[in-house]
Structure formats: C-alpha cells, structure tokens
Amino acid sequence: MKEYKTENIRNIALVGHNGSGKTTFVERLLFNTKVTTRMGSVQSGTAAMDFEEEEIARNSSVATGIAPIEWKGTKLNMLDTPGFMDFIGEVNAALRVTEGVIVFVEAVAGVEVGTEIVYQAAVEQNKSLMLLVNKMNRENVRVSRIKESIDANLDGRFVNIQLPIGEGADFQGIIDLINMEARLGENCERAPIPDDMADAAEEARMELIEAAAEGDDTLIEKYFEEETLSNEEIVIGLKSGMKQGTIVPIIYAAPEAGIAVDPALEMLTALIPSPDQARKFEVTNKAGETESYPISDESPLIAFVFKTREDPYGKTSYLRVYGGVLGSDNRIYDVNLEQDVRIGSLQVAIGKEQVTVGKLHAGDLGVVVKMGDASTNDTLCEHGKFFQMAPIEAPNPIASVAVHPVSQSDVAKLTQSLTRLVAEDPTLRWYTETATHQTILSGMGTTHLDIAIKKAKSKFGVNITTTTPKIPYKETITKTNSAEYTHKKQTGGAGQYGRVFLRVESVDDNEGFQFGEEIFGGSISAPFIAATEKGARQAAEGGVIAGYPVVGVRTVVYDGKMHPVDSKEIAFQIAGREGFRLAVKGAGPALLEPIYEVTIVVPADNMGDILGDLNTRRAKVLGMDQEGTKSVVRAEVPLAEMQTYAQDLRSMTQGRGVFSMKFQSYGRVPAHLLDDLIKKLQAEMEEEKENK
C-alpha cells in the first residue's frame, strides 16, 4: 500500500443497529477496489471484516474491523463497528479516532434503538455525519416510511443529496443531486435523470442548495443574489454545515447487489473532512496544562493507542497518529508507562490481514505487533517529551457474572486471562469482591460476557464456569448493646485467660468499624486492649449474622480482667472476637445492600410497563422525562433486583429499551424482608462450609 499524506486521508466510522449492513458495505468496497477477489459474506462466514471466531459463529460483528479503501488518490480508513449495543465500547473507540461517521439505517426496519444510540454518540462528539439508507433492494421498502422514521426518531436537519430510483426489487440506482445525473446498476453507469423523476429531482436540488447556502456565510449571500450555487459551492456549503453539525446528508445504497456503492464513495471522499481540516487535537503536558495542535506532520509526534487485540501469540496495538510522522523500526516514549516501547514493523490492517508500510503521516491509522506493555488509551510521543491524550470514555457495566476456574491449571491462568480480556476490551472489568470472596467479571450485557468467557478459552486456554454473583451485603446494628466474654483454657502448664466487657454502638453506616477503650484502673493492660481490638476487627471482617463485613459500628472495651500468669494476647484476641459477636447479635442486627442509580430509556409506549416493573423491584423513581419519542426514567434500585434486568428489559421492550447504572450508596434492607433474607444467607453459608 502506498504512502498517503494527511490531506488524502479520510477516517470514517460505520455505525448502526445490528443487521443494518455495515459489514456487507465494506465487503463490497473491498471487492470493487480489487482488495479481495470475491465478495465476502457475513452469513457464510467469509467476510474479511468478521474474522473473530465468535463473529463467524454468530454471523455478526463483535469487534471493530478496519479496511483502508484506496479510491482515486484518497485513502478511506473504514472502521466497521459492531451493531449490537453490548459492544458500544468498540463504537466509542472508533468515534474517537475518526472525523466522519456514516449512520446506517436499514431500509425496512428504519431507525432502531441501536441507530439512535450511535447517532446521538456521534452528535455529542461533533462528527461530520451522513445517513446511509441501506438494503434499498429488500422487499417492502417504502422510502416515505424511512423518511418518517428518521424525522421521528433522530434530531437534525436531514437533506437528500441523492434520490433513490425505485424501491425494493425495483431499486435501480440513485439520482446524484449535486451533479444532476442518474447512476444505474451494479456498474453505477451515468445516465440522464428519468423523465418521471425530473420534477422531484429539481425540487430536491433546490432544498439541497438552500441547506448548503446556510452552511457558509459567503454562500448564503451569493444564494440571495443569484438563487443558485455551483456544484463546487454546494460541496463547500455541505461540508461546512456537516462540520458545524447543522446538516446531515442522506444517501442510498444496496451494497450486496452492488447498486449505488461508487456514488457513496464519491460523496464520502468529497464531504468527509480530511484530518487536517478537522479541529485541533488536545493533549495535557507535564504541568497538567492543556495544549492544542493541528493534525499535521509539522506538529509534535503524538500517537494514541485506541484498540488492542489479544491472541495466543501476542498483542496487536491499533493506533492513530495525531501529530508528526511515525516510522517503522524505532523506539517511542509511552507516557502512560513512563518508558520507551519499540515500534517494529509498522502495518495497516485490512480485517485480520496486515500490510507493511514504511511510515504513517498525521491523521492515519496503523497497527504494531508486540509493542511491549503498551495498552489501549496509551499516548506515544518522542522521548523527552510529555503529551498525554484523554482516555476513551467507557460506560459503566450493567451485567456481571462470578467466574470460577474449572481445574487447578485454570486457577493459575485465571488472573492473567482476565487481565488480557480487559486489555482488549476496556468495557469489561474484573475484580475480587472482598465481601463475597468471588471473582467478578462485569460488562455491557449477557452476550458481551458470554463472548468474553468463550474468548478466555479459545484465546488463552482457560476454562471458566460462571454463576450469578452474590450480592455484597454488609452487616450493621440498630441499637447499643453490651456483652461480656471470658476465654479460659487450662491444659496442664500455662493456661489462657482473658475477660472483656464490650459495648457496641451504632454510628453512620459509611463509617466502617471504629474502636475505643474506656479502661480505668488498669484492669486490662495496653497490649491486651490492642489484642481485644484485633479480635473484634477479625469478627467484623468475617461477619456475625450472615458472613458479610460489619460496618457502622463503634466498639468500646470498657472493663475486663487479667490473670498474672495465664493471660496472653491470644486469649484477649479470642475474647474480643467472641465478645463482639455476642454484642452484635443483641444489638438489632441489620443488613445493608448496594443501591444503584439506574437510567432507563424506552419508547413512550413502554413507559407504563417499565414503571410497573420497577415497583416490583423495590425501586424509588427519581424522575421521568420525555426526549422525542423516548421516555427516560431515573430510579434508585437495589442491586439484588437488577441482576437479570438486561434480559428483562429487552423482553419488555422487544429490544428497544436501554439502560445504564452506577453505584450510588448502601441502604438498609427493609425490615419485612430481613428475617427471610438472613435465613437464606445463613443457609448458603452453611452449605458452603459443608462443601469445602
């Protein structure tokens, strides 16, 4: 592949709901530009973009594939993102490193929930947007219905820059409203506009000219004077309006049949800005100050790792060059690692295939294999410099599983495998929950987690089973109580003796464990007070009523007794532990449960069902809003009621509802549920002891 300068590069994210045809579009581009000798198929598992084992098995993308398309002196880096919203992290990464976005709208289904989510994400990141109405040759396509769906569900000024010729099985091509010509058939042959569409084309072109004029102040003056614009001026106005976010052009295609694909490429090349035409990029210097630079070879050398792919043989880092020129076979400073990493062979990715290049200019994308410990979100620059880019935002996980290694050999590989999974996909997170002693893997949905577990086996050779995570409850008390405990052990020779009087008091639930002493007259010496505290802390950490940590308790040792010979620190440690247990059991023990703030977005028609369901989940509704055709509900919900919510919401809304959640605080389990819950947790604890 030849070397491309910044002005001849276009970086474009392909986003849309699952099944909207993004991958097929790229496969057609690869075939038309002779990168592949036959057109790959998603359904048959031969797509160049869907090369992961799970993608082939599911006939659906689960990771972003990259295809550089060389077209008439321009290199278009196409980032084919997954449409299933469990993989929104892949979409976020693609949006971060592109200037332009094509939002795919499936011609029969119209705007779906995934379409809305990715469209809004692109708008928020100020990308130059274009809508592609795809699969125009499907049965039951109605152009009027598509336009209604777009207007009802998406915010923006949508302007046709093409008109479809026919629909469904009669789709023949498009009318290019800029050049006022028809493009017909698989070869996209130029032809006159059909007579029966001449008036519609003239009317649509006038709307297009008006929109283009409004995108540029100088053009609007000319339009008022002459009531028209040249083709070149239309492109300038559209490009300006897209950059400002005031215009979203619409194009049409049927890539599987090869219809209207070349005109789409022409529009992308003309209207999507090159990196040097985009906004300056920002970095933070060593002093913590923000600096901005144009995307140019003349700017300081700065590259950003936006994606990592792990496999059994090593790691592939996907990066974008923002400033300077990056060459092969050198060393570069990783700001996040605070050390140099080696750039070996510099390559560009075409799906899973890689082509070696000598250098990458500012704005271009490339891959490096085995780049040391560099990982996603790392910034690379010249040694001696310090420029750091902000990380890609990762949403909070909404689903979790407890993971368990199958065999002893899997135990040894578990930590490393989970770490590598998270390195490849930062929307996955894993941690050890201290309250339950479980290893938890969290992600964006059940499908996301299921694929991660399968990757752990296929890529890293670790076998994992999963269970529903235990809720990390905490124990507390509701009143003050005192207890006395004497530990006495006589075994012939030196014995053990320690007697303590303890009082437990309820403090704020967020205060954790506190300890104090009110010993007068030296009834217990300082070392034995410390031993008593150690014992009480041990009891608090291990739980008293259900095996969960005790918080919100102040423990005071106020009296005791020592033996001149038999008293030892271990005796007072045991006395402190058991005395604490007795005191807590009589202090009105209670359970605290994690409460999450949940935001749910559903079609307005589903609002009643959602509110009714939330009532059954002990939710406290904080507010309700209307955003277009969508209803938004914010509520506080106990985690115990949210463990199956991803599947339940999908079922209630036929897949059109989405939600996010973040931890808020711990709250007390209601009194009417407490006794049954404690009995259940105690039974589980006893069962675990028997199984060990």
Residues 394-442 pLDDT 10s? 889 999 999 999 998 899 899 999 998 998 899 999 999 989 999 999 9
Domains annotated for the chain, with CATH where assigned, are 6-277 (3.40.50.300), 281-381 (2.40.30.10), 399-470 (3.30.70.870), 475-588 (3.30.230.10), 592-672 (3.30.70.240)
Can you tell me the mean pLDDT for 264-278? 96
Say which residue the tokens 């923006």 belong to: 156
Helical (H) or strand (E) element with 309: strand 302-311
Please give the pLDDT value at position 103.
Answer: 97
DSSP-assigned beta bridge partners for residue 366:
319
**Are the CB atoms for 267 and 179 separated by under 8 Å?**
no
Residues 308-355 pLDDT 10s? 988 777 789 999 999 999 998 889 999 999 999 999 889 998 887 889
Interatomic CA distance for residues 587 and 477, integer angstroms = 6
pLDDT at 654 over 90: no
SS3 content of the chain, % helix, strand, coil (to 5): 35, 30, 35
Please give the pLDDT value at position 565.
Answer: 81
DSSP state, 544? Answer: S
Average pLDDT, the chain: 92
N- to C-terminal Cα distance for the chain?
60
Output the DSSP codes for 39-88. ---TTTT--SS--SHHHHHHTS--S-EEEEEEETTEEEEEEE---SGGGH
Please give the pLDDT value at position 557.
Answer: 96
DSSP-assigned beta bridge partners for residue 132:
104, 251
Please give the pLDDT value at position 317.
Answer: 93
Can you tell me the mean pLDDT for 161-174? 96
Interatomic CA distance for residues 43 and 57, integer angstroms = 9
Q: Look at residues 22, 63, 15 and name the one whose alpha carbon lies nearest to residue 42.
A: 22
pLDDT at 485 over 80: yes
User: Quick count: other Cβ atoms within 10 Å of Cβ 630?
Assistant: 19
Confidence of residue 387 (pLDDT cuts 50, 70, 90): very high
pLDDT above 90: percentage of residues in the chain: 74
pLDDT at 47 over 90: no
- pTM, two decimal places: 0.87
Interatomic CA distance for residues 310 and 462, integer angstroms = 14
Please give the pLDDT value at position 692.
Answer: 64
**Are the CB atoms for 395 and 661 separated by under 8 Å?**
no
Say which residue the tokens 């030892």 belong to: 568
pLDDT at 215 over 90: no
Residues 590-601 pLDDT 10s? 999 999 999 999
Please give the pLDDT value at position 492.
Answer: 65
515 SS3 class: strand
Beta strands 553-561 and 379-381, pairing class: unpaired
**Are the CB atoms for 150 and 131 separated by under 8 Å?**
yes
Can you tell me the mean pLDDT for 572-588? 96
Confidence of residue 493 (pLDDT cuts 50, 70, 90): low
Interatomic CA distance for residues 464 and 414, integer angstroms = 8
